[in-house]
Amino acid sequence: MRTALIFASVLALSSPAFAGFGSSSVAIKAAVQSGSVDAIVAELERAEELPSNGAIDVVLPLVDHDSWRVRDAAGWWLTRRGVRTQVIASMTARLQGADPVAARNAGDVLAAMRDFSSLPALSAYLAKPLDEDSGVAVAKALGAIGHPTSVTALSAALGSSLAGVRAQAAASLRVLRAPRGAKVAASTAALLPLVGDADANVRRQAILTIGFIGQSGGDASAAVTALSSAATGDPAAVVRKAAAWALGELKDGSARAALMQAQANDSDSLVRSIATAALANLR
């Protein structure tokens, strides 16, 4: 009898958890009180199918948590509740205020909620962000929602005076859905000037997006010259890696000389390896 009970206990402990089930309002509150980001996020994920709305008052304040992971999880959780419309209205109203932290948090929450109705407020804020962090969060939200109409706001943000905003705008452009009948949402024209940007991350993100556009069937032939220069002469290895990869995705034979130079002479072994792989992709 004792052996049977032990065996049953082992089976219970080893049974797989079902994602979205098993939480409660009390468990969420305990996780919040613990102060652990991992515990809060995990509990909200377990509470996906929680039938009671009793935890809403506990979760609502998490939209202003110090961790973006918690803000993201709170937005995702709240969008599955009856307060969805009110939360979206509250977050979009923040984008019209004068508090950059509130705007940043709103961007993170709206990114998780992925609601098309928030696009006008997000786009308007991105045109004149209060600071870099909030601008980055809003540009990221536009990418997360993914609607092709965001290409206008994100393309304009490529000219921002804030490096983080330029980098995130470039990254978000590559995750937008293409309009019906098109292969890609954006063109390379607005991205090409950023290949020579003063900030290495901006250069890298722009190059990765150019490579993605070319990979997806967009016209990126004008980018070969700029990317060839980046692959062989950029001071940052992460940028040279991105440029070598992107040239391989463009598949333009005129990039062969630059890739061969990178393959033979680059001081970074990964750049040399990526250049070798890219050469195999050329027509």
pLDDT at residue 14 is higher than 50:
no
In a domain, residue 107? The reply is no
Instruction: Over range 31-58, report the average pLDDT.
Output: 91
In a domain, residue 214? The reply is yes
pLDDT at residue 45 is higher than 90:
yes
Q: What pLDDT was estimated at residue 12?
A: 41
Instruction: Kindly report which listed range (148-152, 170-174, 217-221) carries the lowest average pLDDT score.
Output: 217-221
Whole-number average pLDDT of the chain: 91
- The Cα-based distances of 224 to 38, 159, 180, 240, 245 in angstroms read 44, 22, 27, 13, 12
In a domain, residue 132? The reply is no
Q: What CATH number does the domain containing 238 carry? A: 1.25.10.10
Q: What band does 49 get if pLDDT is binned at 50, 70 and 90?
A: confident
107-133 pLDDT tens trace: 999 999 999 999 999 999 999 999 999
Q: What pLDDT was estimated at residue 21?
A: 60
Instruction: Over range 33-58, report the average pLDDT.
Output: 91
In a domain, residue 219? The reply is yes
Of residues 121 and 180, the one with the higher pLDDT is 121
Q: What band does 76 get if pLDDT is binned at 50, 70 and 90?
A: very high
Q: Are 282 and 255 in contact (CB under 8 A)?
A: yes
Q: What pLDDT was estimated at residue 94?
A: 98
In a domain, residue 104? The reply is no
pLDDT at residue 29 is higher than 60:
yes
Domain limits at 209?
Answer: 191-283
In a domain, residue 124? The reply is no
Tokens encoding 77 = 């959780």
Which residues lie below 8 Å from residue 133, measured CB to CB, with a gap of 6+? 100, 101, 104, 164
Q: What pLDDT was estimated at residue 217?
A: 65
Number of domains into which the chain is organized: 1
198-233 pLDDT tens trace: 999 999 999 999 999 987 666 667 799 999 999 999
| Cβ count near 49 (within 10 Å) | 12
In a domain, residue 216? The reply is yes
Closest CA relative to residue 169, chosen from 183, 199, 180: 199
Q: What pLDDT was estimated at residue 5?
A: 44
pTM: 0.88
In a domain, residue 179? The reply is no
- In the chain, at which residue ranges do the beta strands (DSSP E only) sit? none
